[in-house]
Structure formats: structure tokens, C-alpha cells
Amino acid sequence: MKIKVKNLGVLKQAEFTLGDLTIICGQNNTGKTYATYALFGFLSTWKQILSIEISDNKIEELLTDGVTHIDVEDYVKQANQIVNKGCQAYSQKLSRVFAAQESLFKDAEFSIVLEDKDINLETIIKHEIGSGKTSIFNISNQEKTTELIVTLLVEQKEVKIPIEILKRMISDSIKDIIFDKALARPFIASAERTGAAIFRKELNFARNRLLEEMGKLDKDIDPIELLFKEYQDYALAIKTNVEFTRNLETISKKNSFIAEEYPDILTDFSDIIGGEYTVTRNDELYYIPKGQRVKLTMDESSSAVRSLLDIGFYLRHEAQPNDLLMVDEPELNLHPENQRKMARLFARLVNLGIKVYMTTHSDYIVKELNTLIMLKNDKPYLKDIAQRERYKSEELLSVEKIKVYIAEKAAIKLDGKTRKSQCHTLREAKITQQFGIEASSFDTTINEMNRIQEEIVWGE
């Protein structure tokens, strides 16, 4: 899947391809977060944005014959047109995704191009639509077929569901079959996540107070519009973090596939934070240090514990295969050793089928990923190194799974014109199995620091 952006914040024109592991590096104010939030916004809302028309003939056939068959392959041929139209509509809403003035995004464009390999028709649909306790319609497909079957379960005269709602249900089912695997379910840990962990109680209190006030409002005032205004000062990614943190008591009642099938990953994560998170029945959130009986609130816990809260609850309670875990600056507040451990944990998730997308300033994370790439070879001495340094085979990475981009200012052709202009863009970094990622963004700074220190030591 290729993502293209134009006039998005400081990014004048850029494109990047989503890999199993996608990394965006670069200095501050070069557009990393703009690209991240825009992608997250689309993946969070595509089911509402994309439009698939269901013909009246199919509905008439359903009501007359009691069943209609829809060939999903007909819509697959239009997949990129459907996505392109949706992206045009989404581009008009970018100011709301970023909670910013419309004028700042009036020329912004966001688009996605799907390749044939992105579309996988393996999603199985089984929906029943009803009124009260009565099932009226059944929507389903079968494995290894491209046919969606809609069946009427009652007499036509008993159908009380509006035609438009029925069309929407069928349309949503087709969208799920075509795009569910290509447009992964996103989970984001924004750079503001540490604050959300500290103030989750205050956020609950503010929201409850708002709801109380809404109950006293005049009937002519739209309470939903008021609620939206209350939160419109925050970008969608940040609002999503806030909502996730507010709902930890409910979230903690579920188990992810990682908790059920790969508990050793949770053990590795506990080693990074040095303990465990817990939520009581009274919705009190605590951190319990390993080997101790004390319970610490988020105020009393370290900044590292707070910054990894969302990721910890995601891994234990929310993670699903084919998810896209998006982490803005995973190195926040982490010691270099723990940054290395996070890199290894991300690599493990990638090999389990969870896509990982990160922005980072951390040379430690990139270098550790390089190690995991370079050790993925059949040479005997590399196997000896991996064994000696306790690297697991399930942590090692193939270059085919990785995409790395450097956010920087460079000369590019705007809109395909021959003349080049200097502007902010994303440059794809070279990656090889032998040498790993070519991260010049860090190397230049490190080389300069080494040069200065060598002059200090040897200059005399």
C-alpha cells in the first residue's frame, strides 16, 4: 500500500509504502507526525468514508425472490477508484483530523494506492439484520468464493427495515471483504500519551461534568455538537489515546491473542517496565514494581512506566493479527538498554503478523534493528553470535518486511515537472540484509560528535 501526501503541514510532497515494519526518522519539524496522524485518521475512518453503491435491482431481486447474489469481484476491479474517491473526501476533512484551522489544510491532499497483493478476499462475513428479536436478513459469504449471498428470512410484508439501511449493511459487508486486510485496524500511541496516563481521572471528571451540563440544556441545543466542540482542540490521534486510557477498566477484561498464545512477549514487556500494570474494580490504575508489594499510582510511577502504559494494555488486552501498531517516538523516557529491548519486541510483533509503524529519533532503536537484520543470515558465525548474545530466532528480521524513510528537506520534482525545488519530503533509506539500514540522519550527527571529541583529545 502506497501513501501519497501533498501540502500536508511542512510536507510539500511525499510518498511512502507501508511495510510490515515502517520507520520514519528525521529531525524535529520535518513532517513525521503529519504523515503519521493523517494515515491514522484514514485507517480509523475508512469504513465511513469509502462508498459502495448497491443497485436497486439487487434489492428488488432480494425482496421478490428471497435471495440475491453479489459478485464481490466486480467491486474489486473498482477498488482503487473507490479508495481514490474516499481519499478525496477525506482530504477535505484533514483539518478536523488535526483539530486545526481549515485554511491550513485547504490545499492538502491525502491518497492511497492499493496493489493487487494488498487485496485479500479471505474475510468471512456472517451478519444477521433484524428488528427486535426477529432476524429478517442474512448476509454471508463462503471461503474460497467471491460471492456474497443476501437472504430474506421472513415474508416480504414483514420487512420493516428501511431500504437505505439494508443497502448500507450490504455495502459495509463488501467493504469488509475487499479492504479489511489491506486497510489494517490501527492502534496509536501518540507522543502525548504520558500526559493522558497521568490525567485520566481528571479527564473522566471533566467528561462526566460535561454530560451533567448537557442534561440541563435547552432542547433546541444539540448536545452531540456540544460534546464535539469540547474535544475539537485535540487531534484525532490524541483523542483516541485519551479515550483508550479512560476505558482501561473495560479493556482490561479482555485478552489479546498475545496473552493467550505468546505470554512470553508479555514477560519481555514486564522486564522493560520492571513490573506490571493493574486496574481495580473501582477503576483505579496502579503500577506494581517487580518483587515488591507496593502499588504505585501513575503520579508516583516513573515517566517510562507512564509512556508505555498504552502499549502494555494493547499487548495484553487488545492486539489482533494484522493490526497496525503506530508508535510516535517509542524511545520516550526510556534508558538506551530499554530502547534496544523495545526494538526487539517490535521485531517479534512483526514476525507474529502485527504491522508496526514508528517515528523515532533514537539511534539505539535503529542500530538494534540493524543487528536483528544482519543476524538474519545462514552464516555459521552469525548463528554463534546470536546464540552468545541471546538473540531469539523469532526476533530476526528480513529486509523484505521493512520500509525506512528519512523526513528531510531535499530537491524533488513537484507534480512531475522537470524543475526541482527544495522542500520537505520523505526519502526512502537503503536497507540490505548484510549491513542493515542506512540511517544518515543519525550518522551525520554521530560523526560530527566523534570528530569534535577527537580534536579535543588529540588536537594538542
Residue pLDDT, tens place only, 8-41: 999 999 999 999 999 999 888 899 999 999 999 9
pLDDT reading at 228 higher than 80 = no
* Structure-model confidence comparison of residues 421 and 344, the more confident one: 344
Whether residue 131 contacts residue 161, with contact meaning beta carbons closer than 8 Å, is answered with: yes
pLDDT mean across residues, the chain: 87
Question: Is 43 in contact with 324 (CB distance < 8 Å)?
Answer: yes
249: confidence class by pLDDT, cuts 50, 70, 90: confident
For residues 376-405, average pLDDT: 93
pLDDT at residue 107 greater than cutoff 80: yes
- For residue 296, the cross-strand partners are 287
pLDDT tens, 407-429? 988 887 776 666 677 889 999 99
Top-confidence residue, 166 or 356: 356
Beta strands in 92-224 (DSSP E): 109-113, 126-131, 134-141, 147-152, 186-189
Instruction: Check pLDDT > 80 for residue 396.
Output: yes
Q: Residue 394 pLDDT > 70, yes or no?
A: yes
Exposed (0-12), middle (13-18) or buried (19+): which is 296, by Cβ within 10 Å?
middle
- Provide the pLDDT for residue 336: 94
Q: Which of 56, 387, 328 is nearest to 189 (CA)?
A: 328
Q: What is the largest CA-CA distance in the chain?
A: 97
Q: What is the pLDDT of residues 57-87, one digit of tens each?
A: 999 999 889 999 999 999 999 999 999 999 9
> pLDDT band at 264, cuts 50/70/90?
very high
Residues 275-333 pLDDT 10s: 999 998 888 899 999 988 899 988 899 999 999 999 999 999 999 999 999 999 999 99
Residues 6+ apart with CB under 8 A from 25: 32, 359, 360, 361, 366, 404, 405, 406, 407, 429, 439, 441, 442
**Residue 8: its pLDDT value, please?**
94
DSSP-derived pairing of the beta strands 147-152 and 67-71: antiparallel
**Residue matched to cell numbers 522486564:** 271
Query: What value, to the nearest 5°, has the Cα angle with vertex 440 and ends 439 and 443?
Result: 95
Calpha distance 394→380 (Å, rounded)? 17
Residue 232: pLDDT band with limits 50, 70, 90:
low
Containing 162, the helix (H) or strand (E) segment is: none
Q: pLDDT tens digits, residue range 113-149?
A: 998 888 888 888 888 877 667 788 889 988 888 899 9
Q: What is the pLDDT of residue 224?
A: 44
Q: Taking residues 353-378, what's their average pLDDT?
A: 94
The pLDDT score that the predictor gives to residue 205 is: 44
At residue 230, the pLDDT reads 45
Report the amino acid identity of residue 312.
Answer: G
Contacts of 257 (CB under 8 A, 6+ apart): 319, 320, 321
Which tens digit of pLDDT belongs to each residue from 154-202? 887 777 778 888 899 999 999 999 998 899 999 999 888 776 665 655 5
Task: Write the CB contacts of 198 (distance below 8 Å, at least 6 apart in sequence).
Answer: 298, 299, 306
186 φ, ψ (degrees, to nearest 5): -90, 145
pLDDT at 217: 55
Banded model confidence at residue 213, pLDDT cuts 50, 70, 90 = low
Which has more pLDDT, 215 or 399?
A: 399
Nine cell digits for residue 336 = 538506551
Q: What is the pTM of this model?
A: 0.88
Which ranges in 406-439 belong to alpha helices (H)?
none
Q: Where does the pLDDT of residue 211 fall: very low under 50, low under 70, confident under 90, or very high at 90 and above?
A: low
**Contact present, 168 and 51 (Cβ < 8 Å):** no
pLDDT higher than 60, residue 210: no
